[in-house]
């Protein structure tokens, strides 16, 4: 069964036709439970997200800030397995019809088997995989498996990436490019800063792939600011925080849906 890289491409292209940035949401699988996580992701998509990234919880994250680490810890203590992550992708896509990617560090994929992971993610209806810590020089086996199974391979670029490095990373990737708006771990920020805009400009100079910006966006004003220069706005910690702060699940789901709606308005204002 082929994955949904073409669906991802069509959704990003449709946003461009509408002269707006796409809204990409993130939540780790298994948070607060596997079933409730599916409900939360569905709420994000119902609220206005175009694309969703399902995180594979990791015990030793290098990119995730304290909010996502807390959610990962809850999922890990709940016994989350790769099969649960794949089920989350499958059910979220089946319920909404939206493109759903998996965001994961490389170790779990390597241990599971890259070819097997690509096949199972595609069978679940996944659109691709975001691999923030996989060096492009070591990605050939994964990229080949992903391409064979109709999956996007999304690499992360950072403000520290030199132009020649950007060209090498983007040439190996597909789907879109994940531009980290600033150096450091994930988490909401008071401002997104100018580094992101410069990074998007430099990335676009070497690739025709859409460039989506993540790390730091938490409200509609920031979403509009980023949407003015990026093809997509990625939001994760702000959604996780809404669930963590809610007194109960139903209020958490309502808060997640409402935030998606606010952000969806923001990406349509474009600054």
Q: Is 72 a catalytic residue?
A: no
Cα distance between residue 181 and residue 199, in whole Å: 8
Q: How many residues does the chain have?
A: 271
Kindly report the backbone phi and psi dihedral angles of residue 154, in degrees, each rounded to the nearest multiple of 5, phi listed first.
-105, 120
Which candidate in 50, 53, 72, 225 is catalytic? 53
Q: Is 53 a catalytic residue?
A: yes
Q: Do the Cβ atoms of 227 and 266 come closer than 8 Å?
A: yes
Which candidate in 36, 50, 60, 64 is catalytic? 64
Q: Which three-class secondary structure state does DSSP give residue 86?
A: helix
* Nearest by Cα to 221 from 188, 252, 256, 195: 188
Q: Do the Cβ atoms of 20 and 227 come closer than 8 Å?
A: yes
Show the CA angle centred on residue 45, arms to residues 37 and 85, nearest 5°.
Answer: 35
How far from 251 is each of 7, 47, 130, CA to CA, in Å?
31, 14, 30
Cα distance between residue 155 and residue 195, in whole Å: 18
Tokens of 267: 């990406």
Tell me which H or E stretch contains 227: helix 220-227
Cα distance between residue 184 and residue 167, in whole Å: 22
Q: Active-site residue numbers?
A: 53, 64
């Amino acid at each position: 069964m082929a994955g949904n890289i073409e669906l991802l491409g069509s959704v990003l292209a449709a946003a461009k036709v509408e002269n707006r940035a796409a809204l990409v949401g993130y939540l780790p699988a298994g948070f607060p439970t596997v079933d409730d996580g599916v409900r939360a992701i569905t709420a994000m998509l119902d609220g206005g997200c175009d694309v969703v990234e399902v995180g594979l919880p990791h015990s030793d994250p290098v990119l995730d800030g304290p909010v996502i680490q807390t959610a990962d810890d809850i999922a890990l203590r709940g016994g989350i397995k790769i099969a649960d992550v794949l089920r989350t992708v499958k059910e979220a896509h089946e319920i909404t019809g939206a493109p759903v990617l998996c965001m994961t560090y490389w170790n779990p994929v390597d241990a599971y088997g890259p070819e097997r992971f690509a096949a199972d993610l595609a069978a679940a209806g996944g659109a691709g995989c975001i691999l923030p810590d996989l060096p492009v020089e070591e990605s050939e086996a994964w990229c080949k498996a992903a391409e064979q199974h109709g999956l996007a391979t999304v690499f992360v670029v950072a403000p520290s990436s030199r132009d020649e490095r950007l060209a090498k990373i983007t040439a190996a990737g597909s789907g879109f490019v994940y531009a980290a708006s600033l150096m450091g771990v994930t988490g909401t920020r008071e401002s997104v800063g100018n580094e992101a805009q410069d990074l998007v400009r430099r990335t676009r100079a070497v690739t025709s792939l859409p460039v989506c910006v993540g790390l730091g966006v938490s409200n509609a004003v920031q979403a509009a600011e980023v949407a003015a220069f990026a093809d997509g706005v990625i939001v994760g910690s702000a959604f996780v925080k809404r669930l963590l702060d809610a007194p109960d699940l139903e209020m958490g789901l309502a808060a997640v849906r409402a935030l998606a709606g606010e952000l969806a308005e923001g990406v349509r204002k474009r600054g």
